[in-house]
Each structure stands twice: as structure tokens, then as C-alpha cells.
């Protein structure tokens, strides 16, 4: 729900700015700057929403920030190469 509501609410600010422009026929530098700020906030707010919703992402970010398990070998295991069978 939050992953849908946040982008929609941020983009509504841009829509409202366009409606104000359509009514007043005045495009000011402040309005353009506001639109750019609203669009740029989308990524930051969406990232915070993902971190607040998904516990596994929160743990991973916490480990990166606190440098937990920094010296630990990765949990990824590589499978040995397949054995080639000779054709008879």
C-alpha cells in the first residue's frame, strides 16, 4: 500500500502545479523548481518506504551501516563444475 500511495501523493503535487499554471497562465521559476523538487523526492521517499516495509532490506542496510559481518565469507556458495561425460 505504501509503495503505491507515496509515488501517487508526490506526483499529485506536480499535477496541482500544472493545474495552477493552466488557470493562471503564469509559469514562475519557483513553480518549475517546485516541480523538480517533487520529482526528485520520489526516489528518496520510495527508498525509505521500501526500507520501512521490508525487514530483510532493513537488516541488510543495517549490516552495511554498522559493518556487521564485514569479515564474514559470503553466504553464496558456488556449485562445482559439471563433470563432462565422454561419448562412447
User: What average pLDDT does the structure give for the chain?
Assistant: 77
Residue 73 in any domain: the answer is no
Position with higher pLDDT, 75 vs 5: 5
Residue 77 in any domain: the answer is no
Mean pLDDT of 69-84: 66
Residue 18 in any domain: the answer is yes
Residue 10 · residue 42 · CB < 8 Å = yes
Distances (CA, A) of 9 to 30, 38, 39: 20, 10, 11
Number of domains in the chain: 1
Position with higher pLDDT, 26 vs 77: 26
Residue 35 in any domain: the answer is yes
**Domain of residue 43, residue span:** 2-66
Is residue 35 exposed (0-12), middle (13-18) or buried (19+ Cβ within 10 Å)?
A: middle
In whole angstroms, what is the distance from residue 75 CA to residue 20 CA? Answer: 54
pTM exceeds 0.85 for this model? no
pLDDT over 70 at 74, yes or no: no
Residue 75 in any domain: the answer is no
Residue 44 in any domain: the answer is yes
Amino acid at each position: 500500500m505504501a509503495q503505491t500511495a507515496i509515488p501517487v501523493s508526490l506526483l499529485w503535487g506536480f499535477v496541482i502545479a500544472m493545474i495552477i499554471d493552466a488557470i493562471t497562465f503564469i509559469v514562475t521559476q519557483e513553480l518549475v523548481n517546485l516541480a523538480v523538487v517533487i520529482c526528485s523526492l520520489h526516489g528518496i521517499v520510495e527508498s525509505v518506504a521500501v526500507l520501512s516495509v521490508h525487514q530483510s532490506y532493513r537488516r541488510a542496510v543495517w549490516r552495511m551501516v554498522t559493518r556487521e559481518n564485514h569479515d564474514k565469507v559470503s553466504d553464496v556458495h558456488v556449485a562445482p563444475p559439471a563433470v563432462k561425460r565422454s561419448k562412447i
